[in-house]
């Protein structure tokens, strides 16, 4: 039986899922015959396809373009507009800016500069690697950050144990021991001292000691590699453009409720403390598992060699070019434009434009235009060296479109668009109202318990499904659930969004996990052993943070006016619903 499945079923499992899932779920819309059931049918199919990856994730995201018009839920034009909303444009602009940083190698210069500031001991090197990775992941993709850091980690760890590895080759080991033994006899006349030194040499050369030493080095390598994957996953939650679940949250909130307290500044103010706390716990946990807290100092000479190697790599980059400096300035300007568009504590620059609503996509696209307009090697007017004639051909721009075209992850844009299309369809079909009514029973639970349960469910799903797909499935449901039970939507949706990136246990959970798993040749059990604790810690931290600091930033314990009356108008007027919530739903003092 097993042989039959292995030879005739397993090779075609994706095709079997693609065909069988719609057929097995078909009774749902056929028997019910309502738009709510039809919308639920499509969402279930997409959720299963996303979780199993029976179809490529971006292709699954295009199902709404076919299914929603055919089932009479949304017209084709309405569905298609979901794939290029303001949030998608902000995402594309952020990705292009990140590619501009990669194109000029500015991210590598930042990484090596940080490593020069820390010591050469494994634990402090880990601090440098984690801090650098987390910071870069806030602005460029987690995958690109991890892929860039892995070769640097390899070089540093190899340098850390270079001398020992050379001495452990068969020929080198024999010669070194013979010379050491003769030298000891000639230079140390005391027989007791000679015996002591010889015993030490013999103990170091024994197979058991070599095996233990090699295992220790392997653990250090695995630990440092794992630390950059964790830092990438955690650091990606630090800014609104760091990971796609944050952008999915922004788009779904904007589509469902309009203007909310969530913006670039409030997100960073809320989640940067959580990033720092989780990074600290990750650093302690990896030390405990792989390095140990006892200070096993490497010799001073070896530390010098490691620093020398890092300094050489930094010097090989040369002086900061105009290209790098210009990209750095544009990056800082972009962050300032995002942060001060509507910071909350003072009127933002967007408030001075009264005739139109200016959002974050406008800010980043200004910078994108400059990236393709400013020359990377200016040789005109005052920037031209004395005595040098003008250039024979135009200078290339700070960023090349071919580079962007080849490296921009267009699939994620479709994935976000598919999520927004699902959100539109749940409202237009009335499914969101139906789900909200079914979940009103949750109001008997304390709000913190509801949030904790949601985060645990999210952390479990995101281990086997894409974080963007997980956000697309859960966030529209949570938006309507929160309104139905009288909870601030941000109280449930923000922690769930952050938890979508907390996937530490499986290599397939995130691209950073897969990259370091392959690079370090680690055992899957090691990743699971380290990851379960991080999952628990990060979920607890984000829930406690939302309960305390979240109330300061988002006023999350009060039901907001923007959620009290939610009016959804689709272009074809398929749905126009109003929700009024004016109940005291919690004994814990949450009155609305």
The Cα 25–Cα 249 span in angstroms is 28
Reported as a pLDDT band with limits 50, 70 and 90, residue 380 is: low
**Higher pLDDT among residues 292 and 238, named by residue:** 238
The Cα 460–Cα 146 span in angstroms is 23
Looking at the DSSP assignment, which residues form a beta bridge with residue 565? Answer: 580
- pLDDT value of position 13: 82
Calculate ∠ Cα 245-467-556, nearest 5°: 45
| Residue 416: closest CA among 92, 18, 71, 76 | 92
Q: What is the mean pLDDT of residues 449-478?
A: 87
110-114, 192-196, 416-420, 471-475: the lowest-pLDDT one: 192-196
In a domain, 265, yes or no: yes
The Cα 135–Cα 130 span in angstroms is 8
Q: 391-396: list long-range contacts, CB under 8 Å, 24+ apart.
A: none
**Residue 56 backbone phi and psi in degrees, to 5:** -55, 140
| Residue 284: closest CA among 153, 127, 145 | 127
| Residue 364: closest CA among 386, 339, 391 | 339
Give the model confidence (pLDDT) of 385-442 as tens digits.
555 565 567 778 999 999 999 888 888 888 888 888 888 888 888 887 787 777 777 7
In a domain, 408, yes or no: no
**Residue 286 backbone phi and psi in degrees, to 5:** -70, -35
User: Is pLDDT above 70 for 591?
Assistant: no
In a domain, 516, yes or no: yes
- pLDDT value of position 345: 66
Residues 323-340: b if buried by 16+ CB within 10 A, e if exposed: bbebbbebbeebbebbbb
- pLDDT value of position 333: 92
User: Is pLDDT above 70 for 205?
Assistant: no
**Residue 387 backbone phi and psi in degrees, to 5:** 80, 0
Give the model confidence (pLDDT) of 123-170 as tens digits.
788 888 899 899 988 888 788 788 878 888 887 777 766 645 444 444
Give the model confidence (pLDDT) of 304-325 as tens digits.
777 788 888 888 888 888 899 9
User: Is pLDDT above 70 for 375?
Assistant: yes
Please tell me the total number of residues recorded for the chain in this structure: 592
Tell me the average pLDDT of the chain.
79
HSE value, Cβ hemisphere, 13 Å, CA-based, for 230: 35
The tokens of 410 are what?
């267009």
Cβ burial, residue 552 (10 Å; 0-12/13-18/19+): exposed
For tokens 């568009």, what's the residue?
341
Q: What is the mean pLDDT of residues 441-463?
A: 88
Cβ within 8 Å of residue 27, ≥6 positions away: none
**Roughly what angle, to the nearest 10 degrees, separates helices 489-499 and 524-554?**
150
Residues 449-474: b if buried by 16+ CB within 10 A, e if exposed: ebbbebbeebbebbbebbbbbbbbbb
Cβ–Cβ contacts within 10 Å for residue 249, how many?
28
Give the model confidence (pLDDT) of 521-560 as tens digits.
888 888 888 899 999 999 999 999 999 999 899 988 888 8
The Cα 131–Cα 234 span in angstroms is 11
Calculate ∠ Cα 446-270-557, nearest 5°: 30
Q: What is the mean pLDDT of residues 169-197?
A: 41
- pLDDT value of position 8: 67
The tokens of 45 are what?
């199919």
**Higher pLDDT among residues 93 and 144, named by residue:** 93
In a domain, 232, yes or no: yes
- pLDDT value of position 99: 87
Reported as a pLDDT band with limits 50, 70 and 90, residue 271 is: very high
- pLDDT value of position 407: 85
**Residue 561 backbone phi and psi in degrees, to 5:** -65, -35
- pLDDT value of position 176: 37
| Residue 324: closest CA among 362, 287, 377 | 377
Q: Compute, in degrees rounded to 10, the torsion defined by CA atoms 409, 415, 421, 426.
A: -160
Cβ–Cβ contacts within 10 Å for residue 591, how many?
12
In a domain, 438, yes or no: yes
In a domain, 296, yes or no: yes
Write the CA distances from 532 to 46, 262, 363, 456, 505, integer angstroms. Answer: 28, 30, 39, 12, 6
Q: How far is CA 241 from the centre of its chain?
A: 10
**Higher pLDDT among residues 262 and 436, named by residue:** 262
Q: Range of 525's domain?
A: 121-161+220-315+431-560
Number of domains observed in the structure of the chain: 1
User: Is pLDDT above 80 for 240?
Assistant: yes
**Residue 505 backbone phi and psi in degrees, to 5:** -90, -35
- pLDDT value of position 68: 93
The Cα 101–Cα 398 span in angstroms is 9
Percent of the chain with pLDDT over 70: 81
In a domain, 198, yes or no: no
- pLDDT value of position 534: 92
The Cα 279–Cα 282 span in angstroms is 5
486: DSSP letter: T
SS3 525: helix
- pLDDT value of position 359: 80
Q: What is the mean pLDDT of residues 88-98?
A: 85
Query: Residues 142, 511: contact at Cβ < 8 Å?
Result: yes
415: DSSP letter: H
In a domain, 230, yes or no: yes
Give the model confidence (pLDDT) of 347-357 as tens digits.
778 777 877 77
**Higher pLDDT among residues 209 and 219, named by residue:** 219
pTM for the structure as a whole:
0.72
- pLDDT value of position 499: 94
- pLDDT value of position 574: 36
Write the CA distances from 230 to 105, 122, 352, 530, 532, integer angstroms. Answer: 23, 16, 41, 10, 12
Cβ within 8 Å of residue 523, ≥6 positions away: none
């Amino acid at each position: 039986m097993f042989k039959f499945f292995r030879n005739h079923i397993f090779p075609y499992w994706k095709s079997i899922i693609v065909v069988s899932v719609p057929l097995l779920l078909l009774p749902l819309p056929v028997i019910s015959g309502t738009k709510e059931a039809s919308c639920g049918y499509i969402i279930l199919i997409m959720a299963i396809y996303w979780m199993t990856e029976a179809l490529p994730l971006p292709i699954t995201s295009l199902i709404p373009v076919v299914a929603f018009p055919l089932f009479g839920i949304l017209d084709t034009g309405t569905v298609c507009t979901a794939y290029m909303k303001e949030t998608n444009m902000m995402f594309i602009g952020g990705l292009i800016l990140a590619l501009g940083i990669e194109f000029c190698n500015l991210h590598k210069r930042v990484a090596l500069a940080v490593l020069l500031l820390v010591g050469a001991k494994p634990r402090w090197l880990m601090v440098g690697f984690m801090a650098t990775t987390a910071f870069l992941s806030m602005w460029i993709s987690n995958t690109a950050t991890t892929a860039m850091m892995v070769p640097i980690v390899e070089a540093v760890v190899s340098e850390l144990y270079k001398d020992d590895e050379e001495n452990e080759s068969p020929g080198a080991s024999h010669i070194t021991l013979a010379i050491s033994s003769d030298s000891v006899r000639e230079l140390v006349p005391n027989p007791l001292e000679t015996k002591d030194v010889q015993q030490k040499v013999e103990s170091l050369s024994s197979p058991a000691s070599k095996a233990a030493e090699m295992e220790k080095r392997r653990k250090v390598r695995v630990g440092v590699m794992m630390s950059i994957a964790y830092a990438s996953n955690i650091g990606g939650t630090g800014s609104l453009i760091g990971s796609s679940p944050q952008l999915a949250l922004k788009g779904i909130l904007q589509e469902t409720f309009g203007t909310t307290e969530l913006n670039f500044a409030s997100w960073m103010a809320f989640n940067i403390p959580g990033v720092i706390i989780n990074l600290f716990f990750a650093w302690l946990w990896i030390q405990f598992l792989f390095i140990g807290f006892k200070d096993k100092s490497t010799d001073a000479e070896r530390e010098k060699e490691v620093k020398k190697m890092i300094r050489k790599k930094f010097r090989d980059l040369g002086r900061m070019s105009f290209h790098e400096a210009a990209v750095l300035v544009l990056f800082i300007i972009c962050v300032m434009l995002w942060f001060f568009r509507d910071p909350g504590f003072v009127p933002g620059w967007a408030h001075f434009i009264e005739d139109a609503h200016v959002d974050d996509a406008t800010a980043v696209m200004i910078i994108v235009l400059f990236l393709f307009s400013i020359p990377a090697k200016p040789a005109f007017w005052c920037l031209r060296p004395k005595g040098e004639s003008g250039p024979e051909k135009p200078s290339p721009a700070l960023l090349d479109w071919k580079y962007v075209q080849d490296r921009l992850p267009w699939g994620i844009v479709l994935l976000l668009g598919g999520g927004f299309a699902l959100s539109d369809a749940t409202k237009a079909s009335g499914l969101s109202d139906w789900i909200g009514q079914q979940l009103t029973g949750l109001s008997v639970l304390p709000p913190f318990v509801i949030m904790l349960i949601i985060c645990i469910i999210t952390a479990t799903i995101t281990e086997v499904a894409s974080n963007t797909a997980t956000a697309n499935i859960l966030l529209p449901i949570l938006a309507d659930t929160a309104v139905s039970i009288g909870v601030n939507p941000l109280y449930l949706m923000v922690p769930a969004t952050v938890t979508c990136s907390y996937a530490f246990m499986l290599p397939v959970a995130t691209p950073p996990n897969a990259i370091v798993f392959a690079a370090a040749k680690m055992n899957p059990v090691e990743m699971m052993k380290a990851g379960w604790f991080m999952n628990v810690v990060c979920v607890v931290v984000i829930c406690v943070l939302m309960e305390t600091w979240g109330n300061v930033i988002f006023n999350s314990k009060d039901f907001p006016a923007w959620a009290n009356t939610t009016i959804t108008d689709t272009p074809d007027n398929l749905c126009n619903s109003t929700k009024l919530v004016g109940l005291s739903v919690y004994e814990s003092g949450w009155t609305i």
